[in-house]
Amino acid sequence: MLDIHKIRADFPILSRKVNGKPLVYFDNGATSQKPQVVIDAISKYYEEINANIHRGVHTLSQLATDAYEASRGKIQNHINAKFAHEVLFTSGTTFGINLVANGFASILKPGDEVLVSAMEHHSNIVPWQMLCERTGATLKVIPMNDNGELIMAEYDTLLSDKTKIVTVNHISNALGTVNPIKYIIDKAHAFGAAVLIDGAQAVPHVKPDVQALDCDFYVFSGHKICGPTGIGVLYGKESWLNKLPPYQGGGEMIKDVSFEKTTYAELPHKFEAGTPNVAGGIVLGTAVDYMNSVGFDNIQQQELELLEYGTRRLLEIEGLKIYGTAAIKTSVISFNIEGIHPYDIGTIIDKLGIAVRTGHHCAQPIMSYFKIPGTIRASFSFYNTKEEIDIMVEAIKRATAMLS
Ligand code: 7TS
């Protein structure tokens, strides 16, 4: 069991007030808060070892390089990648998806198909649309049902020899659905298609095992797992990373450069052009260590309790409808109250110190499916409490009374 008071004391921001009220932070789907160890590690990097990496013979450059590569090793262990060079540092999920989509431009031919799901974040839709426009390939969509679950029977019929890549999220940011990614991966492989998993919303809750999953690519952002912004990971199977062309050209990604011909560096450097986010890369390792010290079993248990309690308490509110009622879901509750715009609730409860997200959550196709402009989304983390849920429920009741 988690000692929740001890955990909360790790996060300085959780003791601040917002608009004169104690902060209730339920926007963890957008970004997580940062524990003191992570904040300290950023300062420590700049105070003690700041230097450019992979290029200097001097001591600081060596220290910074070692710390950066040690962090890559931590991520490798965390996601169980076979090789450290299959772990690429990126600026985040969006960058990772764009890197892969861009690489597939050299593979796809007119008539080929790319499969996305009906519940993707825009960053796992738009890069593939752009790719299809460039290559003449066709984008196909795996549909979902009213509970916000992907319809696997439809997926089975969409797959064919034309399918070259299937790209789905592990967990939906707007609905909380945990998708059957192992099934999706195995079925796609039977047709020779690659699979990219957008793990942005999954890594805060589960420890992915990329070898057990057998996915070809797995992407996520550091800022959603207690790490800094501007750093993320693209895991790619070695064979795929060798096959894809570099995304950006520049320093560090080359072996030899002449005006006639340039040869590229080995993995992972081939995909890491320019000075990277050194501090971010190092501190992402600190964040992953922190998450593991809390323990993913503990995290899941706490979040499941919050999900069950939050669902029950919210459903007490008259006219409240939850979007995303999948059998297997994570601690995200998207909802609306009849006759009230989500933005109005969000604005009023912000005045009471409560942070939720309102709007389409960068998943407009989901909102179109449910024929709504958006939702109010409360996304819980392991450092949240039932008492905070009570505060939110009372605040929503007050807001609803004011608005009806
Ligand atoms: N994919 C999913 C499933 C996401 O939830 C997000 C961010 C992204 C990709 C993009 O991540 P980025 O770090 O590159 O921006 N989701 C959200 C959200 O739900 N609210 O704010 C950002």
State the burial class of residue 234 (Cβ atoms within 10 Å of its Cβ: 0-12, 13-18, 19+).
buried
Dist. CA 365 → ligand 1 center (Å): 15
Q: What residues contact residue 179 under an 8 Å CB cut-off, 6+ apart?
A: 117, 119, 150, 168, 169, 170, 171, 172
Residue ranges of domains in the chain, CATH in brackets? 4-30+295-403 (3.90.1150.10), 39-292 (3.40.640.10)
E runs forming strands in 290-331: 320-323
Dist. CA 176 → ligand 1 center (Å): 13
Cα–Cα distance measured from residue 27 to residue 358, given in angstroms and rounded to the nearest whole number = 10
Over residues 276-286, the pLDDT tens digits come to 999 999 999 99
Q: What are the pLDDT tens digits along the chain (404 aa)?
A: 799 999 999 999 999 999 999 999 999 999 999 999 999 999 999 999 999 999 889 999 999 999 999 999 999 999 999 999 999 999 999 999 999 999 999 999 999 999 999 999 999 999 999 999 999 999 999 999 999 999 999 999 999 999 999 999 999 999 999 999 999 999 999 999 999 999 999 999 999 999 999 999 999 999 999 999 999 999 999 999 999 999 999 998 999 999 999 999 999 999 999 999 999 999 999 999 999 999 999 999 999 999 999 999 999 999 999 999 999 999 999 999 999 999 999 999 999 999 999 999 999 999 999 999 999 999 999 999 999 999 999 999 999 999 98
Cα angle 276, 101, 113; round to 5: 170
* Amino acid (one-letter) located at 382: F
* Amino acid (one-letter) located at 196: L
pLDDT the model gives residue 56? 80
Identify whether the C-beta of residue 147 lies closer than 8 Å to the C-beta of residue 169. no
* Amino acid (one-letter) located at 4: I
pLDDT the model gives residue 1? 79
- Catalytic one among 132, 215, 226, 362? 362
Q: Which of 333, 346, 344 is nearest to 384 (CA)?
A: 333
Q: At what angle do helices 342-351 and 386-403 cross, to 10 degrees?
A: 120
pLDDT the model gives residue 320? 98
Over residues 96-125, the pLDDT tens digits come to 999 999 999 999 999 999 999 999 999 999
Q: What are phi and psi of 168, to 5 degrees?
A: -135, 155
pLDDT the model gives residue 404? 86
Query: Which residues form ligand 1's pocket by a CB distance below 6 Å?
Result: 29-30, 92-94, 121, 123-124, 169, 173, 198, 200-201, 221, 357, 361-362
Q: Which of 283, 347, 352, 306 is nearest to 2 (CA)?
A: 306
Query: DSSP for 281-299?
Result: HHHHHHHHHHHHHH-HHHH
Identify whether the C-beta of residue 340 lies closer than 8 Å to the C-beta of residue 346. no
Known catalytic membership, residue 226: no
Cα–Cα distance measured from residue 68 to residue 276, given in angstroms and rounded to the nearest whole number = 10
32, 121, 360, best to mutate for ligand 1 pocket (most atoms within 8 Å of CB): 121
